[in-house]
């Protein structure tokens, strides 16, 4: 097969986490539309996981993705998280039909998909633990608030960008700027009370704070931003606030 990839389902997209491609020009971070893909039919409709010749398979031959990609043969297996929910897919494509002997690989590929699921779940768990460790133990601390400082935030952000790229972990960042005359400790304590235990916050100086909302999509980030703004404003800690997503 000319292309093998590991994907993560994010909303309506299949995000490519790993890829070996000799035919389609795909790369890490590329996205495919879930609803037009072969994989959605494999997962949701129970269609074949290995198809040596898509031209003689009605379901795949009429799939919308054929308008943008030439697919002569297909392999697809679901990847599951620890709760059994769909994480993504192990998928292979080739522009040309393959020998029927391709179907003989089914047992080995089922085992491979289970192994990849386990490895991905372990990697996600370890990334979450490392995220917490970095926040708690980073040596760059603000003397006033005890929070990570600018270098600490730089490393927190760099680490999370890697998580988004390599594991499809979706987090959001809030930037807050409080009044210069406000007490930094009060702002920091207020933020700590408003955030979850797996979120991270850093003090960048001059009452500028950065918050990592871990495993949070844009819709939930907006709700969190509104809640934080309202809570701080109620304490007369008027802040300017903006947020961005690390999964764009």
Domain locations in the chain? 3-125, 140-245
What per-residue confidence (pLDDT) applies to 247? 63
pLDDT for the residue 236: 84
Tens-place pLDDT, residues 50-109 = 999 999 999 999 999 999 999 999 999 999 999 999 999 999 999 999 999 999 999 999
Q: Is the confidence at residue 194, as pLDDT, over 60?
A: yes
Please list the residues that pair with 77 across neighbouring strands: 90
Task: Give 181's pLDDT tier (boundaries 50, 70, 90).
Answer: confident
Question: Is the Cβ–Cβ distance between 46 and 55 less than 8 Å?
Answer: no
Give the number of other Cβ atoms within 10 Å of residue 242's Cβ: 10
- Got the DSSP string for 76-145? EEEEE-TTS-EEEEEEEEESS---GGGGGGHHHHHHHHHHHHHHHHHHHHHHHHHHHHHHHH-S-B-TTT
Q: What is the pLDDT of residues 206-242, one digit of tens each?
A: 999 999 999 998 889 999 999 999 999 888 887 788 8
3-125: which CATH number, 3.40.1050.10, 3.40.640.10, 3.30.450.40, 3.40.50.300?
Answer: 3.30.450.40
pLDDT value at residue 237 = 83
Length of the chain: 248
Asked whether residue 40 carries a pLDDT value surpassing 90, the answer given is yes
3-state DSSP helix/strand/coil percent for the chain, to nearest 5? 40, 25, 30
* pLDDT value of position 218: 87
Residue 47 confidence class, pLDDT cut points 50, 70, 90: very high
Cβ-count burial of 41 within 10 angstroms (0-12 exposed, 13-18 middle, 19+ buried)?
Answer: buried
Structure tokens at 212: 């990592």
Q: With a cut of 60, say whether residue 145 has pLDDT above it.
A: yes
Superfamily in which the 140-245 domain is placed by CATH? Reverse transcriptase/Diguanylate cyclase domain (3.30.70.270)
């Amino acid at each position: 097969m000319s292309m093998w990839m590991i994907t993560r389902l994010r909303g309506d997209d299949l995000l490519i986490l790993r890829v070996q491609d000799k035919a389609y020009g795909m790369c890490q971070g590329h996205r495919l539309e879930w609803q037009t893909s072969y994989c959605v039919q494999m997962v949701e409709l129970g269609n074949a996981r290995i198809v040596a010749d898509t031209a003689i398979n009605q379901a795949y031959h009429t799939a919308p993705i054929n308008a943008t990609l030439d697919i002569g043969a297909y392999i697809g297996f679901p990847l599951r998280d620890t709760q059994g929910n769909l994480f993504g897919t192990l998928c292979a494509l080739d522009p040309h039909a393959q020998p029927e002997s391709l179907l003989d690989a089914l047992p080995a590929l089922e085992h491979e998909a289970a192994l990849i699921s386990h490895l991905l779940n372990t990697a996600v768990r370890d990334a979450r633990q490392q995220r917490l460790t970095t926040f708690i133990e980073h040596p760059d601390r603000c003397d006033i608030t005890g929070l990570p400082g600018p270098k600490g935030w730089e490393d927190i952000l760099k680490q999370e960008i890697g998580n988004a790229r390599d594991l499809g972990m979706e987090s959001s960042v809030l930037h807050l700027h409080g009044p210069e005359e406000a007490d930094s400790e009060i702002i920091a304590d207020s933020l700590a009370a408003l955030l979850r235990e797996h979120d991270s916050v850093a003090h960048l100086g001059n009452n500028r704070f950065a918050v990592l909302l871990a495993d949070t999509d844009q819709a939930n980030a907006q709700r969190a931003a509104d809640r934080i703004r309202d809570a701080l404003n109620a304490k007369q800690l008027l802040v300017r606030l903006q947020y961005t997503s690390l999964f764009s």
